C-alpha cells in the first residue's frame, strides 16, 4: 500500500488522480497488461466523478485486482475443458493470448520450468496465478534479461539515488546496443514519467524497458512482414540479415550466423540443396571480355566444388533484366563458382567487379529439398538479444579483442581489467584512431562510474562504439551527398558510389576499383566503406598505430638521420634522435627513468643497427608518454576547476564540436567564435578575452610542441587549457556569460 500511495502522489494534481492515468498507474504498480474495459468498469462502479482521492485510489487498485483474478479464473476454466482443475502447459501461450498477454516463447518456457515443480506438464489455478505474478514482477522479461537490465540500471545509477534521469536512460540504451532513436526513447520515457520529474525509479525503468521492447517488437514484425511480402527473406539466415538491416544495423554476415548458432537456431549450410552435383569450368574467350561458365554433372571428388544458393529478389531482377529470353522462376538456383562466394550478396559483388560473370541457371533433376521454415517472432527476438550481447562481433573478432585486452591487462595490477589509459593504447594498437577528446568521451560512456578501469565486456563495448563512430561519420557524409536515403534499397550508381568513397577519404584509384559497374544499394556502399576502414586499421596495426601520413613523415625523419650518419643509425644514437623529436619528453627529469627504460628495451637489427620498424615502435612509446602527460594535465585541471564528471563531459562535447579539424586543440579564433555565439563580444570584450587567453594558454604551452606527432602550436589551447579558461570566464561572469548558459 505504501508503494501504491507513493504512486498516487506522483500522479495526483491537487490531491486527485484523473481516470485517464489509472491504466498507466496499474502498470507501474506491477499489474501486467491491465484491460481498459476492466479499468472503466471498476472505476464507474466506485464514482460518477472523473478523479479519485488517495483512499479511493487504493480501493480502486484492490478492486481491480479482484476483478482481474476473477477474469483470470474464468479464462482458466475455459481452457480446462475436462474440468480436471488443470490445463496443459502447452496451452499456456494460448491462455495468455486470450487475456491480451503475449510474452515471448522462451519466457513462457522458463516460467513453466519454475512453476511446474512436479514436471507433470499441467498447471492448476494456483500455479497459473504464480505464472501471472512472475510475468508482472519481471515485466514479461526472462529472468536473465530482467537481471541484466536491472544490473544496467544500477551501473548508471552512479549517485545511488534509486532513479535515472533522461540522459542516463539514453546512455543505458546505447550501453545495451539498442538501435532505438533518441526521439522515440524520449517519447516512451514521457509516457512512464507521469509526474514529469524527469527521472524514473527502478520499477519505472523496467516498465520503460518493456515499452522499448514492445516498440522494437513492432519494428521487428514490420520488418519480417516486409521481408515476406517482397520475397527477400529467403532462408532464416537471409531473414536474420535483413532483419538487422531493417532495424538500422550494418551486420557482418559471419557474426549473424554465429549469433544465430548461440541463440540455438539451426541454419542450413545451403539455402537450397539440389540432388544433382556439379563441376564447374571457367572459360574466357578472346572474343569477349565476359567469363563464361559451363556446368557438367560429376561427382564432387574434384577441387572445383560448388555451393548452391536460393535466388533472392535482387538477383532475380538483375538476371531477368539482362536475360529477357531466359527468365528465372521461383526455385531456380544460381551456382556459386568454386564456392568462393559467400552468399548471394557476395555473388553480386563478384558480378559487379571488372567484368560481367555469366551465371548458368540450372533446373536440377529432382525436386529441391523443403525450404527452411519462416523466421518466427520468438526466434527473431531471441537472436536480437544474443546479437546485442555479443556486441555484433564474430567469434574471431571477440577472440582478437580478448587477446589484445589480456596483453594490456598484464601491465596493470588486475588481470581482469585494464586502465582506461591503456584502453586507449589498445584501441590504437587495433587501428582505431580517434582524436584524444573523442576517445576520452567514448571511454567515459563505458566507464560509467569513472573507476579508471574497464573489464573485457566494457572494452568490447568501447570497440563497438568506435565502430558506430565510423558509421556516424559515413552517415553524415552520405547524407550531405544525398545518398543516405530512407529507402536503403534504391540503387546507387557507379559514379555516386565512387564519389561517396572519395568523400570518405578513400584515394581516387581505390574508389574507382571498388565501385560496382551496375551500382549497389546503401547497405552495399556502407559495407564497402567498412571493409576499406578495416583494411586501413590493419595498416595502422602493422605500423605501431601510425597512419600513412604519419608513417611517411617518420620515414622522412628516419632517412634524414640515416643520410647524416652514413646510412645507419646505431642504438646508442637513438637518444639524440629522440631528444630532437620530443625535447619536452626526452629532457624532462620526471620522464628520464621511463626514457632510459624505453631506450634500453628498444629492439635493434643485426650489428646493433636500428631498423625502421623498431624506430616506429619507439616513436609510438614516446607518443604514448605524451598522451599520458596530457591526461595528467587534464586531471589536474579538473581538480583545480572543481567541475563534476557531467560538467566535464559537457565541456568535452563542446570542445569536440568546435574542433572540426580533429587536432585536439582550439585556436583563439575558434574559442572567440564559440564565446561569441553564447554572448556577443565587442572589441573591448575581445581584448579582455585575449589577455585571459594568453595567461591560461602560456601556462601549458610546453605540452603542445611538435604538432606533427600529436602536439599542437603554443598558440593553441588543449582541453585542459579550455577547462581553465571556461572556469575563469564563469567565475568572473565574463560578458554576462552566466545569463546566457
Average pLDDT over residues 632-656: 92
Could you say which of 1.10.1240.10, 2.40.50.100, 1.10.238.10, 3.20.20.140 is the CATH number of the domain covering 548-626?
1.10.238.10
The grid coordinates listed for 512 are: 574507382
pLDDT level of residue 416 (50, 70, 90 thresholds):
confident
Distance CA 364, CA 362 (A): 6
**Cβ atoms of 103 and 96 closer than 8 Å:** yes
Give residue-wise pLDDT tens across range 721-735.
999 999 999 999 988
Q: Of the candidates 264, 237, 232, 270, which has an alpha carbon nearest to the alpha carbon of residue 253?
A: 237
Q: Residue holding cell 509516457?
A: 191
The predicted pLDDT at position 399 comes to 92
Rounded CA gap, 471 and 669, in Å? 30
Pairing of strands 17-18, 199-201: unpaired
Percent of the chain residues topping a pLDDT of 70: 75
Collapse the DSSP code of 704 into the 3-class scheme (helix H, G, I; strand E, B; otherwise coil) and give the result: coil
pLDDT tens track for 517-534: 667 888 888 988 998 898
Q: What is the mean pLDDT of residues 15-20?
A: 87
Give pLDDT, residue 288.
38
Residue 592's CB is within 10 A of a number of other CB atoms, namely 12
Query: How far is CA 290 from each of CA 297, 342, 358, rounded to the nearest angstrom?
Result: 23, 21, 7
Write down the residue that cell numbers 516460467 correspond to.
111
* 3-state DSSP helix/strand/coil % of the chain, to nearest 5: 60, 5, 30
Structure confidence at residue 262 (pLDDT): 92
- Cβ contacts of 11 within 8 Å, gap of 6 or more: 17, 18, 21, 25, 194, 195
What letter would DSSP give residue 454? E
Rounded distance, CA 35 to CA 25, Å? 12
In whole angstroms, what is the distance from residue 183 CA to residue 215 CA? Answer: 13
The pLDDT score that the predictor gives to residue 707 is 42
CATH number for the 143-221 domain, one of 1.10.238.10, 3.30.70.100, 1.10.357.10, 2.40.30.10? Answer: 1.10.238.10
Rounded Cα distance, 21 and 252, in Å: 44
Q: Tell me which architecture the domain covering 1-138 has in CATH.
A: Orthogonal Bundle (1.10)
Nearest of 711, 732, 619, 618 to residue 663 by alpha carbon: 711
Q: Cβ atoms within 10 A of the Cβ of 737, count? A: 15
* pLDDT tens-digit series, residues 193-248: 876 778 888 888 998 998 898 888 888 988 888 887 766 656 788 888 888 988 88
| 337 contacts 284 by C-beta, under 8 angstroms | no
Q: Which of 642, 643, 696 is nearest to 668 (CA)?
A: 696
CB < 8 Å & 24+ apart, contacts of 465-473: 465/174, 466/427, 466/432, 466/434, 466/442, 467/392, 469/434, 469/438, 469/442, 470/529, 470/530, 470/533, 471/250, 471/526, 471/530, 473/504
Per-residue pLDDT at 363 exceeds 90:
no
| Structure confidence at residue 274 (pLDDT) | 31
Q: Which range among 66-70, 591-595, 643-647 shows the weakest confidence by mean pLDDT?
A: 591-595
Report how far residue 588's alpha carbon sits from residue 594's, in angstroms, rounded to the nearest whole number.
Answer: 10
Can you read off the three cell numbers belonging to residue 618? 619507439
Name the residue with higher pLDDT: 293 or 183. 183
pLDDT at site 610 = 73
Residue 11's H or E segment, with its range, is helix 2-11
Cα–Cα distances (Å) from 339 to 272, 284, 352, in that order, read: 14, 19, 17
- In this predicted model, what pLDDT tens digit does every residue of 384-397 receive, in sequence order? 989 998 999 999 99
d(CA 545, CA 428) in angstroms, rounded, equals 5
Q: Report angle CA 390, 391, 392 to the nearest 5 degrees.
A: 90
Residues above pLDDT 90, as percent of the chain: 23
Averaged pLDDT, 39-65:
91
- What is the structure's pLDDT at 231? 61
pLDDT at 512: 85
- Which secondary-structure segment (H or E) carries 190? helix 182-192
Separation between Cα atoms, residue 562 and residue 620, nearest integer Å: 20
Q: What is the 3-state secondary structure (H, E, C) of 644-695?
A: CHHHHHHHHHHHHHHCCCCCCCECHHHHHHHHHHHCCCCHHHHHHHHHHHHH
Q: What is the mean pLDDT of residues 79-83?
A: 83
User: By three-state DSSP, how is residue 700 classified?
Assistant: coil
What grid cell was written down for 361? Answer: 541457371
- pLDDT tier at 264, thresholds 50, 70, 90: confident
Long-range contacts at 649-658 (CB < 8 A, ≥ 24 apart):
649/441, 649/444, 651/719, 651/722, 651/723, 651/726, 652/437, 652/440, 652/441, 652/444, 652/719, 653/441, 655/437, 655/719, 655/722, 656/435, 656/437, 656/438, 656/441
Q: Please tell me the least confidently modeled range out of 14-23, 343-352, 659-668.
A: 343-352
Chain Cα centroid distance, residue 138: 26
Neighbours of 369 (CB within 10 A): 12
Terminus-to-terminus CA distance in the chain, angstroms? Answer: 43
Name the CATH superfamily for 395-473.
EF-hand (1.10.238.10)
pLDDT for residue 362 is more than 70: no
Residue 625 has pLDDT above 80, yes or no: yes
Domain ranges within the chain, ordered by starting residue: 1-138, 143-221, 276-362, 395-473, 482-543, 548-626, 665-739
Residues 6+ positions from 726 with CB-CB distance below 8 Å = 641, 651
pLDDT tens profile 574-621: 667 777 777 766 666 666 676 666 666 665 555 556 778 888 888 888
State the pLDDT confidence band at 281, using cuts at 50, 70 and 90: very low
CA 83 to chain centre: 52
- DSSP helix/strand/coil, 551: helix
**Hey, which residues does 294 pair with through a beta bridge?**
281
* Topology alike, domains 143-221 and 548-626: yes
Report the half-sphere exposure of 254 (CA within 13 A, side-chain side): 7
What's the whole-model pTM score?
0.72
Residue 76, pLDDT > 70, answer yes
Q: What is the pLDDT of residue 437?
A: 93
Question: What pLDDT score was predicted for residue 83?
Answer: 84
Provide the Cα torsion 487, 488, 493, 496; round to 10°: 100
398: enclosing H helix or E strand: helix 395-409
The Cβ of residue 270 has, within 10 Å, a number of other Cβ atoms equal to 14
Res 621: pLDDT? 83
The β-bridge relationship of strands 333-335 and 308-310 is antiparallel
d(CA 18, CA 547): 63
Task: Please state, in angstroms and as integers, the Cα–Cα distance from residue 7 to each residue in 44, 61, 562, 594, following that order.
Answer: 21, 11, 76, 60
pLDDT digits (tens, 9 = 90+) for 491-515: 888 899 999 999 998 988 888 887 7
- Say yes or no to pLDDT of 341 above 60: no
Class of domain 276-362: mainly beta
pLDDT beyond 80 at 301: no
Which residues, other chains included, contact 205 with Cβ-Cβ below 8 Å and sequence gap of 6+? 149, 153, 164, 169
Mean pLDDT estimate for the chain: 78
Residue 616 confidence (pLDDT):
86
pLDDT at res. 282: 35
Residue 168: predicted pLDDT: 85
Amino acid at each position: 500500500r505504501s508503494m501504491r500511495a507513493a504512486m498516487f502522489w506522483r500522479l495526483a494534481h491537487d490531491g486527485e488522480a484523473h481516470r485517464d492515468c489509472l491504466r498507466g498507474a496499474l502498470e507501474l504498480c506491477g499489474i501486467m497488461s491491465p484491460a481498459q474495459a476492466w479499468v472503466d468498469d471498476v472505476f464507474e462502479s466506485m464514482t460518477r466523478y472523473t478523479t479519485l482521492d488517495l483512499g479511493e485510489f487504493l480501493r480502486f487498485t484492490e478492486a481491480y485486482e479482484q476483478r482481474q483474478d476473477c477474469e483470470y479464473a474464468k479464462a482458466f476454466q475455459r481452457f480446462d475443458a475436462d474440468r480436471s482443475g488443470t490445463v496443459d502447459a502447452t496451452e499456456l501461450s494460448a491462455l495468455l493470448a486470450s487475456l491480451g498477454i503475449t510474452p515471448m516463447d522462451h519466457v513462457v518456457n522458463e516460467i513453466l520450468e519454475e512453476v511446474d515443480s512436479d514436471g507433470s506438464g499441467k498447471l492448476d489455478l494456483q500455479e497459473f496465478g504464480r505464472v501471472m505474478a512472475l510475468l508482472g514482477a519481471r515485466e514479461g522479461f526472462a529472468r536473465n534479461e530482467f537481471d541484466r537490465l536491472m544490473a544496467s540500471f544500477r551501473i548508471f545509477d552512479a549517485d545511488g539515488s534509486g532513479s535515472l534521469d533522461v540522459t542516463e536512460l539514453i546512455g543505458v540504451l546505447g550501453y545495451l546496443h539498442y538501435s532505438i532513436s533518441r526521439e522515440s526513447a524520449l517519447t516512451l520515457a514521457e509516457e512512464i514519467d507521469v509526474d514529469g520529474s524527469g527521472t524514473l525509479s527502478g520499477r519505472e525503468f523496467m516498465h520503460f524497458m518493456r515499452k522499448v521492447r514492445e516498440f522494437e517488437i513492432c519494428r521487428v514484425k514490420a520488418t519480417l512482414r516486409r521481408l515476406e511480402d517482397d520475397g527477400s527473406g529467403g532462408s532464416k539466415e537471409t531473414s536474420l540479415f535483413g532483419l538487422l538491416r531493417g532495424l538500422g544495423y550494418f551486420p557482418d554476415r559471419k557474426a549473424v550466423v554465429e549469433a544465430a548458432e548461440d541463440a540455438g537456431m539451426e541454419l542450413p549450410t545451403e539455402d537450397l540443396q539440389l540432388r544433382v552435383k556439379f563441376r564447374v569450368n571457367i572459360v574466357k574467350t578472346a572474343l569477349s571480355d565476359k567469363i563464361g561458365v559451363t556446368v557438367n554433372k560429376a561427382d564432387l571428388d574434384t577441387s572445383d566444388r560448388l555451393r548452391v544458393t536460393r535466388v533472392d529478389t535482387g538477383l532475380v531482377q538483375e538476371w531477368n533484366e539482362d536475360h529477357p529470353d531466359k527468365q528465372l522462376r521461383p526455385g531456380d538456383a544460381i551456382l556459386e563458382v568454386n564456392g568462393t562466394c559467400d552468399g548471394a550478396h557476395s555473388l553480386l559483388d563478384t558480378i559487379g567487379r571488372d567484368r560481367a560473370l555469366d551465371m548458368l541457371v540450372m533446373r536440377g533433376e529432382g525436386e529441391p529439398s523443403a525450404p527452411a521454415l519462416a523466421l518466427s517472432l520468438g526466434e527473431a527476438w531471441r537472436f536480437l538479444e544474443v546479437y546485442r550481447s555479443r556486441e555484433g562481433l564474430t567469434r574471431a573478432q571477440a577472440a582478437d579483442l580478448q587477446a589484445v585486452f589480456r596483453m594490456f591487462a598484464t601491465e596493470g595490477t588486475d588481470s581482469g581489467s585494464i586502465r582506461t589509459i591503456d584502453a586507449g593504447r589498445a584501441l590504437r594498437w587495433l587501428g582505431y584512431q580517434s582524436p584524444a577528446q573523442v576517445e576520452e568521451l567514448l571511454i567515459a560512456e563505458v566507464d560509467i562510474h569513472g573507476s579508471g578501469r574497464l573489464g573485457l565486456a566494457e572494452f568490447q563495448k568501447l570497440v563497438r562504439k568506435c565502430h558506430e563512430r565510423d558509421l556516424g561519420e559515413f552517415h553524415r557524409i552520405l547524407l550531405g551527398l544525398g545518398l543516405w536515403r530512407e529507402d536503403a534499397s534504391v540503387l546507387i550508381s557507379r559514379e555516386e558510389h565512387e564519389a561517396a568513397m572519395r568523400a570518405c577519404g578513400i584515394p581516387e584509384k581505390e574508389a574507382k576499383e571498388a565501385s560496382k559497374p551496375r551500382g549497389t544499394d546503401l547497405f552495399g556502399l556502407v559495407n564497402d566503406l567498412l571493409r576499406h576502414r578495416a583494411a586501413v586499421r590493419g595498416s595502422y596495426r602493422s605500423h605501431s598505430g601510425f597512419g600513412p601520413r604519419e608513417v611517411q613523415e617518420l620515414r622522412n625523419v628516419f632517412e634524414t638521420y640515416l643520410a647524416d650518419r652514413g646510412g645507419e643509425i646505431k642504438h646508442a644514437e637513438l637518444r639524440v634522435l629522440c631528444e630532437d623529436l620530443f625535447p619536452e619528453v626526452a629532457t624532462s627529469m620526471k620522464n628520464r627513468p621511463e626514457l632510459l627504460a624505453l631506450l634500453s628495451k628498444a629492439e635493434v637489427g643485426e650489428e646493433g643497427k636500428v631498423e625502421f620498424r623498431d624506430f616506429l615502435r619507439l616513436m609510438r612509446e614516446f607518443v604514448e608518454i605524451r598522451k599520458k602527460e596530457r591526461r595528467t594535465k587534464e586531471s589536474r585541471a579538473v581538480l583545480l576547476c572543481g567541475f563534476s564528471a557531467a560538467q566535464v563531459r559537457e565541456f568535452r562535447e563542446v570542445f569536440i564540436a568546435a574542433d572540426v579539424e580533429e587536432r585536439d586543440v582550439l585556436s583563439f579564433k575558434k574559442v572567440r567564435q564559440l564565446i561569441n555565439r553564447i554572448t556577443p563580444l565587442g572589441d573591448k570584450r575581445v581584448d579582455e578575452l585575449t589577455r585571459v587567453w594568453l595567461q591560461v594558454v602560456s601556462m601549458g604551452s610546453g605540452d603542445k610542441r611538435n604538432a606533427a606527432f600529436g602536439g599542437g602550436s603554443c598558440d593553441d589551447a588543449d582541453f585542459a587549457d579550455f577547462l581553465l579558461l571556461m572556469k575563469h570566464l564563469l567565475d568572473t561572469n565574463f560578458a554576462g556569460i552566466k545569463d546566457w548558459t
